[in-house]
Chain A
Amino acid sequence: MRTRERWVYLAVGLVLVAGLPLLNSLPKGSPLHVSDFTLNLFGKFVTYAILALGIDLIWGYAGVLSLGHGVFFGLGAYAMGMHLMLEIGTQSVYRNLLPDFMVWNRVTELPLFWKPFYSVPFTLLAVVAVPGLVALVFGFLTFRSRIRGVYFSIITQALALCAWLTFNRNAMNLGGTNGLSGFKSIFGFSLSDPATQRGLYVASALCLCAAFLICRWIVRSPAGKVLVAIRDSETRVLFCGYSPAAFKVFVFTVSAMLAGVAGALYVGQVGIITPARIGVLPSIEMIIWVAVGGRGTLLGPVVGAVGVNWLQSLLTTHYPDLWLLVLGGMFVAVVLFFPDGVVGTIQRLAGRLRSARGELKFNLAGGERPPHSSTEGSYAPLALPRPPTPPPATKES
């Protein structure tokens, strides 16, 4: 079972990492050929999946709903974006070493905080460390003061709004409303070269695999059980001798770091980062991906992030007006009828089928074996107080 599980992981990982790039390098005429556009699109989805994994860690497991993950995503993206801006050098419109928007804003010298971003190692460190540090400090202050539930969610939403307002200001020297764009190359590789984009896709997919394994390790360790325990009864955790605040700060920080990595990988593939990507609305959208995919499973957020965004790109090309309705509808449906999301619901149905047949099958969903087989329990309801939901119609059938 254990070794078989490992092989399945390896196979899925290989397909994820190598599959699309291989199909992309097929000759254009081939029926299996995947266009550069599609590869790039999925590269973006994969970065979203990394972010969603982080959100799931804190929301799905610890039951803490953060409405500010756009900020951490943005910090990672801006850190990488700043390096890419500097890499443009004199290839810019104004042929100036300064980024174009600074010339436009009559800035004559590169601001001090931009300078370290010439260095690649510093940039890579900043991508993880800046969101991590912000989350650490923010989490420490809020969780230690025992701010929880809805109050925490509201404060993180305020954080997202603050970040959005701040990054919008021209005086911040971060490109204002237009953000950072016009990148030419990444670490010396031209961004317009399809091979570079393939490389970025592979890097994103590898990061997703690593993120998955890290989350899986955390979730399966006793610390992961403490996270679930915090969701169930924080006071009991405290009286068991653990500090819930410390665990929440830890998982919030890890989650922010994953978001930062996702942002950095995003910016190279999409070619632009603006404050519009980091505010209140995108942060809520991210929550919807996780809710739709299935909280409390590791496969759920990946499926949700890729699935919802894929659907969005399909729908917006054909019925652009419909998308927001569909997105809202999906969220309502999940809240009312499928609190476990797509993966959670499938898992439960499969579990019921399995116990009905009395046979044990390999559990696909992130290796999340329920600790029990007789009484299937659904994952806890949304962290925010919600109206009592009627049991899903399919439940008792």
Chain B
Amino acid sequence: MTINAAAEGSIIYLEDVTVEYDGFKALNALNFFMDYRELRVVIGPNGAGKTTLLDVITGKVQPSAGRVIFGKSTDLTGRRENEIAGLGVGRKFQTPSIFANLSVRENLELSLARPSKGVLATLRARLDGVQRARVEETLETIGLGGRGAERAGGLSHGEKQWLEIGMVIVQQAELLLVDEPVAGMTDEETARTAELLVTIARDRAVLVIEHDMEFVRSLARKVTVLHEGRVLCEGSVDQVQQDERVREVYLGRSGSKQAAHA
């Protein structure tokens, strides 16, 4: 009952979602939802199902059971990745995935929301003034203003990550999924990334997967802890860090398991 009530105003709502790989349940009857314009951080030990959660939402993996509802009532299960992207779900991968042989600006232009992204429509597509302005504005937001003509492959690691975030922004996604954005970044880059995520979360929901607790703290939002394909607990950074179960799964996982089996 409470879940349904909460689902009314949620941007994404997973109900009893199970994903199995050869008998291993990566997600186990997971219930999860996020509000509009919420910035949420998901943490959890390796194999907890964090990336699978993103895979299920973006259509990369189909759940064996359960529903994934986007916005008011759009069921995402059974849809292809590009279709889901067109509906307004953007995804930023863990390793920078940009188009190295295109310019920075072209990277953003390709990602722009378009009425149709079919082959024939794309052959004749032209940018209008609004779209051009949006690209320039995004270049500023991600700290790459004035560097639009550069080849994207020549950017530094951190800049590539920001460019990819920018690509998801111009897609006008209502929900942004960001997988470990600060892995391999310098402290300064990490701080700027936190700023960037907070900024873009003003207009849309952002789900961030992260290990770096320092970074999670700097985002200072609600944290969800996943464990063995289920939500273990939710709350502020401090609440989560003091939670007994969370400490257990992060520190004494194998010990407690053996104890449970004994």
Known: A223-B119, A238-B85, A241-B85. A371 touches B103 (CB 8 A): yes
- Smallest CB separation, A233 vs chain B (Å): 5
Determine if B171 and A228 form an interchain contact, defined as CB atoms under 8 angstroms apart: no
Determine if B91 and A372 form an interchain contact, defined as CB atoms under 8 angstroms apart: no
- Indicate the member of B91, B99, B101, B164 with the most A CB atoms within 10 Å: B101
Determine if A242 and B117 form an interchain contact, defined as CB atoms under 8 angstroms apart: yes
Residues of A within 8 A of B (CB): 218, 221-223, 225-226, 228-229, 231-233, 235-243, 246-247, 250, 370-375, 377, 379-380
Determine if A371 and B82 form an interchain contact, defined as CB atoms under 8 angstroms apart: no
Taken together as a complex, chains A and B put the C-alpha atoms of A386 and B254 apart, in Å, by 42
Taken together as a complex, chains A and B put the C-alpha atoms of A240 and B124 apart, in Å, by 18
Number of interface residues of B (CB under 8 A): 38
Known: A238-B82, A241-B171. A229 touches B149 (CB 8 A): no
Determine if B102 and A241 form an interchain contact, defined as CB atoms under 8 angstroms apart: no
- Smallest CB separation, B72 vs chain A (Å): 20
CB of B218 within 8 Å of the partner chain: no
Taken together as a complex, chains A and B put the C-alpha atoms of A380 and B85 apart, in Å, by 27
Determine if A226 and B110 form an interchain contact, defined as CB atoms under 8 angstroms apart: yes
- Smallest CB separation, A70 vs chain B (Å): 26
A-B pairs with beta carbons under 8 Å apart, 20 shown: A222-B122, A223-B123, A223-B125, A225-B110, A233-B97, A236-B97, A236-B99, A238-B85, A239-B58, A239-B82, A239-B90, A240-B82, A240-B171, A241-B114, A241-B171, A242-B122, A243-B80, A246-B118, A372-B151, A375-B154
Known: A221-B123, A223-B123, A240-B167. A372 touches B149 (CB 8 A): yes
B126 nearest CB neighbor, chain A only: A222
| Chain B hits for A226, CB < 8 A | 110, 122
CB of B78 within 8 Å of the partner chain: no
Determine if A229 and B102 form an interchain contact, defined as CB atoms under 8 angstroms apart: yes
Known: A243-B80, A377-B151. A250 touches B90 (CB 8 A): no
Taken together as a complex, chains A and B put the C-alpha atoms of A194 and B234 apart, in Å, by 85
Determine if A377 and B106 form an interchain contact, defined as CB atoms under 8 angstroms apart: no
Extra contacts, 5 of them, besides A225-B109, A240-B171 (Cβ < 8 A), are: A228-B102, A233-B99, A233-B100, A247-B122, A250-B119
Determine if B97 and A235 form an interchain contact, defined as CB atoms under 8 angstroms apart: yes
Determine if B117 and A241 form an interchain contact, defined as CB atoms under 8 angstroms apart: yes
Determine if A222 and B123 form an interchain contact, defined as CB atoms under 8 angstroms apart: yes
| Chain B hits for A373, CB < 8 A | 149
Determine if A222 and B149 form an interchain contact, defined as CB atoms under 8 angstroms apart: no
- Smallest CB separation, A88 vs chain B (Å): 41
- Smallest CB separation, A154 vs chain B (Å): 25
| Chain A hits for B103, CB < 8 A | 371-372
Known: A221-B125, A247-B119, A372-B151. A239 touches B91 (CB 8 A): yes
- Smallest CB separation, A278 vs chain B (Å): 28
Determine if B122 and A221 form an interchain contact, defined as CB atoms under 8 angstroms apart: yes
CB of B111 within 8 Å of the partner chain: yes
Determine if B102 and A371 form an interchain contact, defined as CB atoms under 8 angstroms apart: yes
Determine if B119 and A232 form an interchain contact, defined as CB atoms under 8 angstroms apart: no
| Chain B hits for A242, CB < 8 A | 82, 110, 117, 122
CB of B81 within 8 Å of the partner chain: yes
Known: A372-B151, A377-B151. A235 touches B117 (CB 8 A): no
B149 nearest CB neighbor, chain A only: A372
